[in-house]
Structure 1
Amino acid sequence: MARIILITGGARSGKSSFAESFYKDEDDVTYIATSRITDEEMKDRIELHRKSRPLTWKTFEGCYNLCDAVTHCKNYLLDCITVMTSNIMFDMSKDFEKIPQNLQSQIEDAAFNEIIKLIEKIRIIDGNLIMVTNEVGDSIVPENHIARVYRDIIGRINQRIAKVCDEVYIVTCGIPLRLK
Structure 2
Amino acid sequence: MITLVTGGARSGKSRFAESLYKNDKDVVYIATAKLTDSEMKERIEHHQNSRPKYWRTYEANYNLSHGIASERNYLLDCITLLTSNIMYDISKDKEVIDIKMQKIIEDKVFYEVKKLIDEIKKNDYNLVIVTNEVGYSIVPSHPISRIFRDIQGRVNQRLAAVADQVYLVCCGIPVKIK
- TM-score, with normalisation over the residues of structure 2? 0.98
- Partner deviation per Cα, 1:43-85 (whole Å, 9 max, x = no partner): 1211221122111100000110001011111000000000111
The aligned length equals: 178
Question: Which of 154, 166, 169 lines up with 1:168 in the alignment?
Answer: 166
What amino acid is the match of 2:63? N
Q: Which residue matches 1:24?
A: 22
Tell me by how many angstroms 1:41 deviates: 1.2
Q: Which residue matches 1:122?
A: 120
Q: Output aligned runs, 1:134-145, within 5 Å.
A: 134-145=132-143
Runs of 4+ in 1 over 3 A off after TM superposition: none
Tell me by how many angstroms 1:95 deviates: 3.4
Q: Percent identity between the aligned chains? A: 58
Q: What is the alpha-carbon distance in structure 2 between the residues aligned to residue 110 and residue 116 of structure 1?
A: 10
Q: Which residue matches 1:45?
A: 43
Query: What secondary structure sits across from 1:133 in the alignment?
Result: strand
Q: What is the alpha-carbon distance in structure 1 between the residues aligned to residue 24 and residue 72 of structure 2?
A: 10
Question: Which of 63, 74, 91 lines up with 1:65 in the alignment?
Answer: 63
Tell me by how many angstroms 1:143 deviates: 1.3
What amino acid is the match of 1:106? I
1:89 and 1:13, CA in 2 relative to 1: closer, same or farther beyond 3 A? same
Query: What secondary structure sits across from 2:45 in the alignment?
Result: helix
- TM-score, with normalisation over the residues of structure 1? 0.97
